[in-house]
Amino acid sequence: MSLAHEVMETLLRLGVENGVVSSAREREVLLRFSNDRMTVADAVEGTTVSVFVRERGRKAGITLGETDASKVEAAVESMVAEMRRHGGGGSVPLPQGPFRYAAAAEEPPVDVEEMASMAAAAVEAARSAGATRSAGSFKASVTSLSMCTTAGAEGEALLPEAELSLRSFSPDGSSGHGLAVAADPRRIDAAAAGREAGGLARMSMGASEVKGGKRDAVLAPMVFADLAAEAGDMASAFYVDMGMSFLKDKEGKDVASPLLQLSDDPTIPGCIGTRPFDDEGSPTRRNEIIADGVLQGYLHNSETAHAHGVASTANAGLVAPRPFNLTVGAGKGGWEDLAAEMDRGLVVTNAWYLRYQNHAAGEFSVIPRDAVFVVEKGEVVGAAKGLRVSDTLSSLLSNIEALGGDRRWVRWWEVDVPTLSPSAWVRDVSFTRSTM
């Protein structure tokens, strides 16, 4: 009997109305490098058990880094007793199982020597492409997940992830970012990520200060993925109910250009965000969030769905529903092709540090970093620096003029949710800059 099933026995014995137990065993290798040298090599393994209980209007959870079932059971008994001292009212039932799930993924190898060789290949490729130095991280992990619920759902999943993120610098400090994301580290093209980072660093040498103001811009996949992931997060009914979403009261309404299709699809085989079930045990499915620019609905767990009078979208989050694996519909061409059509504007290849002035209005700013190119008459004529995008999500998503066909998976320090995103040509992006 697995640890999760042992703990479930305790919940059933206690007569808990709604309970979820999951145990996760994670194994990760993380290599960090800087100045073309290894900074640190990490190898981490750990087991956690999480128990969530919902009854009589109250919710409680525990997460323990513990493999001793008797200790977990004692903690569970204490949690349930404390919760029952104060509860009152009803609770929404968990989705009723049993369910059938997609077959678990195969476990890829995670080998520190092999990964170090790949990281070295990325650094060498960046150097060959013109970089003088590179820094980055290469991580690969495998999580073995076991889940069961008091409503009869039970399943096993294997969640593999690999991510190589590389930033390269040219002699004048200009930089470029390369990224490769996959479920299996063997599918990471390290040399391509290195070439991308080194090439962008070389191309953006000699960047100059340019004025702020409204400009057309091509937002490369790493940038547009940041915006798409924000929209995906804000589609969570939890954030809508909290007033932390610009999508509140917009179901069935235009929230973006008709060109935009945004979905959450954790069923795509072989992606890092792929998973067979959500945190309540519901089998995952593809959910359209924005279709032809129209908001199709919010992401729900069973509780938010009940409050909104709809069915769960299998996006639990035991407290807050969330997207798992976002996809943006593709157009045609790469960022270079979009820039050629744009005539005049900027190409932003990366951005970070997105912060809101007002979540409900979607007012935010985010800082372009790494290569930013100036485009005139469809040609890249130089590089720019020192700019900030200060705009609203509604405006940026509504002003999409064209989407590229250069979709790629993005996940890195700035973008938490794996997002398949193309480049996007956006009209009238508001850029600001320091004037002192």
Task: State which of positions 229-248 bind another protein (CB under 8 A).
Answer: 241-244
Who's near 351: CB < 8 A, 6+ residues apart?
A: 219, 222, 223, 226, 366, 367, 368, 369, 389, 414
Nearest of 330, 433, 420 to residue 372 by alpha carbon: 433
Comparison of 62 and 330: residue with beta carbon closer to another protein: 62
Nearer to another protein, 193 or 342 (CB): 193
Q: Which residues contact 254 (CB under 8 A, 6 or more apart)?
A: 293, 294, 398
**Segment lying near another protein (by CB under 8 A), choices 35-43, 226-234, 376-384, 394-402:** 35-43
**Closer CB to another protein, 268 or 360, in the complex:** 360
Whole-number minimum distance, CB 18 to another protein, in Å? 13
Member of 2, 143, 144, 390 binding another protein (CB under 8 A): 390
Among 10, 20, 21, 33, binds another protein (CB under 8 A): 33
The minimum distance between CB 59 and another protein, in angstroms, equals: 4
Q: Under rule CB under 8 A, which residues in 99-158 are in contact with another protein?
A: 112-113, 115-117, 119-120, 123-124, 133, 135-137, 139
Residue of 9, 14, 17, 62 that binds another protein (CB under 8 A): 62
Q: Tell me the CA distances in angstroms from 112 to 123, 271, 312, one per residue in order.
A: 16, 22, 40
Query: Which of 132, 352, 378, 428 is in the footprint of another protein by CB under 8 A?
Result: 352
Listed ranges 26-34, 150-158, 217-225, 423-431: which one lies at the site for another protein (CB under 8 A): 26-34
Question: In whole angstroms, how close is the CB of 347 to another protein at the nearest point?
Answer: 18
Residue span binding another protein (CB under 8 A) among the ranges 74-82, 93-101, 142-150, 249-257? 74-82
| 166-225 positions binding another protein, by CB under 8 A | 166-167, 169, 173
Query: Residue 158 carries which DSSP code?
Result: E
SS3 295: strand
Kindly indicate which of the ranges 8-16, 183-191, 278-286, 346-354 contains the residues binding another protein, using the contact rule CB under 8 A: 346-354
Strand partners, 414: none
Cβ of residue 165: shortest distance to another protein, in angstroms?
6
Q: What would the 3-class secondary structure string for 384-429 be? A: EECEEEEEEHHHHHHCEEEECCCCEEECCCCCCCCEEECCEEEEEE
d(CA 384, CA 204): 8
Structural tokens at position 223: 């940038």
Q: Which is nearer to another protein, 118 or 271 (CB)?
A: 118
State the binding string over 252-291 for another protein (x if CB under 8 A, else -): ----------------------------------------
Pick out residues in 369-388 that bind another protein (CB under 8 A).
Answer: 369, 386, 388
Closest CA to 278 of 242, 308, 320, 248: 320
Rounded CA-CA distance 219/221 in Å is: 7
* d(C-alpha 285, C-alpha 9), whole Å: 29
Q: Which two tokens stand for residue 309?
A: 């009078």
Residue 119 half-sphere exposure toward CB, CA atoms < 13 A = 32
Report the SS3 class of residue 115: helix
As a whole number of angstroms, the distance between CA 430 and CA 389 comes to 6
Question: Is residue 48 part of the contact set for another protein (CB under 8 A)?
Answer: yes
Q: Are 308 and 341 in contact (CB under 8 A)?
A: no
**Closer by beta carbon to another protein, 267 or else 392:** 392
Whole-number minimum distance, CB 10 to another protein, in Å?
16
Select 333 or 368, whichever has its Cβ closest to another protein. Answer: 368
- Residue closer to another protein (CB basis): 201 or 338: 201
CB of residue 335 vs another protein: minimum separation in angstroms? 21
Using CB under 8 A, pick the residue from 358, 376, 381, 405 that binds another protein: 358
Stretch that binds another protein, among 12-20, 223-231, 250-258, 356-364 (CB under 8 A): 356-364
The least CB distance from residue 67 to another protein, in Å, is 4
Residue from 12, 15, 43, 341 touching another protein (CB under 8 A): that is: 43
Q: Which amino acid is located at 133 in the chain?
A: R
Rule CB under 8 A: choose which of 5, 58, 306, 408 binds another protein: 58
Closest to 403 measured CA to CA, from 304, 290, 318, 313: 290
As a whole number of angstroms, the distance between CA 141 and CA 163 comes to 9
Ordered DSSP codes for 313-367? -S---SSS---SSEEE---SS-HHHHHHHH-EEEEE--EEEEEEEETTTTEEEEE
The nearer residue to another protein, 82 or 379, going by C-beta atoms, is 82
